[in-house]
Copies of this chain bind each other. A is one copy, B any other.
Amino acid sequence: MVSFSQQTYAARGEAHSHPVAKELFAIMERKQSNLSLAADVSTKSELLALADKVGPYICVLKTHIDVISDFDQDLVAQLQALAAKHDFLIFEDRKFADIGNTVKLQYGGGVYRIADWAHITNCHVIPGEGIIQGLAEVGVPKGRGLLLLAEMSSKGMLATGAYTDKNVEMAVRNEFVIGFIGSKRFTEERDLITMTPGVGLHAAGDALGQQYRTPELIVTENGSDIIIVGRGIYGAGKDPVVEAKRYRDAGWAAYLNRLGKQ
């Protein structure tokens, strides 16, 4: 069998059984983008302005809804409208990390009602497989998808070795899981999508342990599918549209290189 990494996003979308994965691959192909924006701003107006500006160049908008100081339901409605206008999915990077009974309440309820609007969310499996089951009880009926945090991009992170392997095992046997946060393709047992944070065109880091890798390393060599870029696009002194185009082009070129088309 040809590795999933050697197949086009279009072919993988056609073959995929999960509605969110199917839609995501279709968007990637339509927009020729494997770029996700990590929109870590702290007000509603900043988030909406950024999503509207960068929206045309991304396949996924990654949010931390709980850092928005003036969150309200209108923000959700406007984000959904922008997702429709610019053709992207919304990924709430909640990093659920509690027992099944609690994450059910956190995912479906509270002020945010994440399951009502986020096409994708993610979780750590450190509480055991019950966390996936709890989230699935809420997310499956709403047609949502889940990513597991098989690895992280920060210095000294402990998601390695046997822990990463457990993530892969759980992902393979839980249909609700559409992929991973991690640095590479992890398995050929089924088509699980890898999204990689900590991607930068120039290697560097921040003072709190974040580390950066290039699109070529992540997509071409490691076989990851989507690059997640934050401060590289909207950091101080940057033009988000210019940077988003650069990252979109770099991510897509890395994908074409992987396919041997360039």
Contact = CB atoms under 8 A, between A and B. Distances in A.
Contacts of A126: 124, 126, 149, 152, 157-159
A232 to B, nearest CB: 13
Interface residues of A, number: 49
A101 interface: yes
A6 interface: no
What's the number of copies of this chain in the assembled complex? 2
B111 A157 contact: no
Contact of A208 (B125, B134, B155, B159): B134
Contacts of A101: 40, 206, 208, 210
Interface string A52-87: 000000000000111111010000000000000000
A67 B112 CA distance: 9
B106 A66 contact: yes
A19 interface: no
Contact of A100 (B109, B129, B158, B209): B209
B157 A127 contact: yes
Give chain A's interface secondary structure class. Answer: loop
Contacts of A130: 154-156, 208-210
Contact of A67 (B105, B133, B158): B105
A241 B58 CA distance: 53
A125 B158 contact: yes
Interface in A132-160: 133-134, 149, 152-159
Interface string A182-215: 0000000000000000000000001011100000
B66 A133 contact: no
A29 interface: no
A110 B152 contact: no
B100 A66 contact: no
A4 to B, nearest CB: 26
Interface string A78-110: 000000000000000101011111101110011
B64 A158 contact: no
A112 B66 contact: yes
A127 B181 CA distance: 12
A133 B64 contact: no
A134 B210 CA distance: 11
Given A64-B106, A134-B208, 14 more contacts: A64-B105, A66-B66, A66-B110, A66-B112, A67-B110, A68-B110, A95-B97, A95-B98, A97-B97, A99-B210, A100-B208, A128-B155, A130-B156, A130-B209
